[in-house]
Structure 1
Amino acid sequence: MFNNMLSPHTTHLIAGGCGGTLGAIITCPLEVVKTRLQSSQEVRVVQVASTDGMTHKQITRTNVGLISALRNIVKTEGVSALFRGLGPNLVGVAPSRAIYFFAYSETKAFMNTRCQPESPVVHLSSAAFAGFTASTLTNPIWFVKTRLQLDRSTKEGKVSTGSIIKSVYQKEGVRGFYRGVTASYAGISETAIHFMIYEQIKLWLRDGKTDYDNKTLKDFLSFMGAAAISKSSASVIAYPHEVARTRLREGGHKYRGFFQTLRTVAQEEGARALYAGLGTHLVRQIPNTAILMVTYESIVYLLNS
């Protein structure tokens, strides 16, 4: 219907933007909880005296899981707090996903002419370049979103998007909005692994099919499963960059760089702290990625049919 009206570039832009927007809306409460669990706000480090007179560090967390965090947010801040940062998320997710999928499809088309078509090298390099491009262009939006999600003030004292932008610009200038971008670059490895696994699963699903262009409900359910498996695998492998990125965006001067943040968190809170919020992250990422990829594949299919 639309194959003569839209260019391939426009198709991927629309499909990526729609998929990212729908996923962001549905999973926003989980995103808020995940960000809180990753932050240093949840950590209490106290010196405790032992029986021999020596002191040692004791680390506790105010929220230890998804359900307790959700209950605490609703109880102390109201239901609306579960959707903090949704505005910047919606502003950023459509262009971010659109940029990503556009860069991915264009790079893959370019690499397919110079390498073995649809090989892991093609998928890895395409995903890496797309991740770098999207992270660089949209980091200020995600920075503001994180600051909003970490705000715990009541309705009367709640910070706004405008106040965050004004405060950061006055104190740090434009550079302040790129806090955490190095961690985002490190996170490109997660995206690259995700797409490499996803594309490989798609190739396995394609084996033996003679009419791959005509997709059925089973095909789209298979895409959803492939997205869930690939994203969860990649998330577990590369998760520490998520914690580092959140800490870098918190504010203050304790966390100054990607590797310095990883070392500080591991030394003060233990290596397990680098995986704080992983359970919530997976609970959010699996449906979010499944929604994103199925919406993307569906819209591309519809617009090209």
Structure 2
Amino acid sequence: MKEQGDPTNITPVQQIMASSAGALLTSLFVTPLDVVKIRLQAQSKPFTKGKCFVYCNGLMDHLCVCVNGNSRAWYKAPGRFSGTADAFVQIVRNEGIRSLWSGLPPTLVMAIPATAIYFTCYDQLRDLLIHRMSSVEIASLIAGATARLGSATLISPLELIRTKMQSRPLSYRELTACIQSSVAKEGWLSLWKGWGPTVLRDVPFSAMYWYNYELGRKWLCQRYNKAEPTFSICFASGAVSGSVAAVVTLPFDVVKTRRQTEMGELEVLYDPKKNSTSTWKIMYRITSESGFRGLFAGLSPRLIKVAPACAIMISTYEFGKSFFRKLNNEQQLKTL
């Protein structure tokens, strides 16, 4: 098999283009699932003013705050749906098929740059590590964890700013004043609120995902006697590795969701009550309220989104890299 870590066949710009295409396709395919999920949630327990819910398309989380019983963004008043399939049919029939992608713009604004940074950093780090290590899987594990840590740290202030703008109408001048006031009172680290739970969830997820992906891809190539992984091999490896990582890191996803919604409600309602937002204390509160099973709440919906999101993202990314490798090789041959 050709050495997978050869960095000479593709440039960072081409990696960014391939990962951006993957983020776009993933958002297009998975966003309707979350639109339907939120509408069903609102039907069973309507969102009230100041109530927050988390919108996630498999790539990015978005904290959405309801204002006057409705959201400022893609959430609409719930209909009467008997289930997921009925919700799909009624939304398309009554509101048009475009309503299934009503959360797409805010998703793409954050998802494309975050994904491009993450995947490009991963490939660059993996290419460096693979020549110093005998194991491709271990190099992938370290590169995946490091790349996710870096991208989460870079994107965290932007996520905080976006959440503040969603929580209540703010002009850019008011937003700047709000950030300056926060920095003056709590220091620059205040721009990274929520970074801890995000890293605790995403870094282990990324490490496990890339390790299992490389392992699964190698095994499938050997089983089907393929010199290079095909689109279907990448798709299957991405779905399985994403599912495994999603199950293991679910407790931290539950904590992150709880922390996001609590912080959002406090901001909107100006509630002076200060609940602890420590990751471990939130875990303790969840287990006290719902038992150990509470840490694994929402497993099925998370798998339904994460598995196809990981599969579509990685297979599109690998296909894009293969396309650029072939293009670069053809150009090199022409110059000879």
- CA-to-aligned-CA distance 1:232-283 (integer Å, 9 cap, x gap): 0110011111121122222234242222222222222332222222211111
Match of 2:64 in 1: none
Counterpart for residue 237 of structure 1: 248
Query: C-alpha displacement at 1:168, in angstroms?
Result: 6.2
- CA shift, 1:206, in A, is 2.6
- Give the RMSD, CA atoms, in angstroms: 3.9
The answer to whether the 8 Å contact 1:27/1:284 transfers is yes
SS of aligned partner of 1:25? helix
1:151-170 alignment runs, 5 A limit: 169=179
* 1:95 corresponding residue in structure 2: 113
Cα distance in 2, alignment partners of residues 270 and 171 from structure 1: 39
**In the superposition, relative to structure 1, how do residues 199 and 165 fare at CA in structure 2: closer, same or farther (>3 Å)?**
farther
2:321 pairs, out of 257, 278, 300, with 300
* Structure 2 match to 1:200: 215
| Equivalent residues, number | 262
- Cα offset for 1:147? 7.4
Contact 1:84/1:148 (8 A) holds in 2: no
Residues 206, 146 of structure 1: alpha-carbon distance in 2 compared, 3 angstrom cutoff: farther
Match of 2:27 among 24, 36, 41: 24
Q: Compute the TM-score of the two structures, normalised by the length of structure 1.
A: 0.71
Amino acid at match of 2:260: R
Structure 2 CA distance for partners of 1:102 and 1:41, relative to 1, 3 Å: closer
Which stretch shows the higher mean deviation, 88-97 or 204-213? 204-213
Alignment of 1:259-274 (within 5 A): 259-274=280-295
The DSSP-based 3-state class of the residue aligned with 2:285 is helix
* Matched AA of 1:103: C
Could you tell me which amino acid in structure 1 is paired with residue 209 of structure 2? H
Identity of aligned residues (%): 22
Partner of 2:128: 110
Matching residue of 1:212: 227
* Structure 1 unaligned spans of 5+: 43-64, 152-157
* Structure 2 unmatched runs, 5+: 1-7, 42-46, 54-81, 267-273, 327-336
Q: Which has the higher contact order (CA 8 A, sep 6+)?
A: 1
Which deviates further from its counterpart, 187-196 or 136-145?
A: 136-145
Moved more, 235-244 or 164-173: 164-173
Normalising by structure 2, we get a TM-score of: 0.65
State how far apart, in whole Å, the 2-side matches of 1:246 and 1:81 are.
25
Distance in 2 separating the partners of 1:279 and 1:171: 41
2:126 maps to a residue whose letter is: K
Residue 160 of structure 1: how far off its partner (Å): 7.9
Residue in 1 aligned with 2:196?
182
Aligned residues of 1:88 and 1:141 also touching (Cα < 8 A): no
- Letter in structure 1 aligned against 2:138: V
Q: Distance in 1 between matches of 2:100 and 2:174?
A: 19
Query: Using the alignment, how far apart are the partners of 2:189 and 2:304 within structure 1?
Result: 33
- Alpha carbons of 1:297 and 1:148: their partners in 2 closer, same or farther (altered >3 Å)? farther
Tell me which residue corresponds to 2:15: 12
Q: Distance in 2 between matches of 1:169 and 1:277?
A: 33
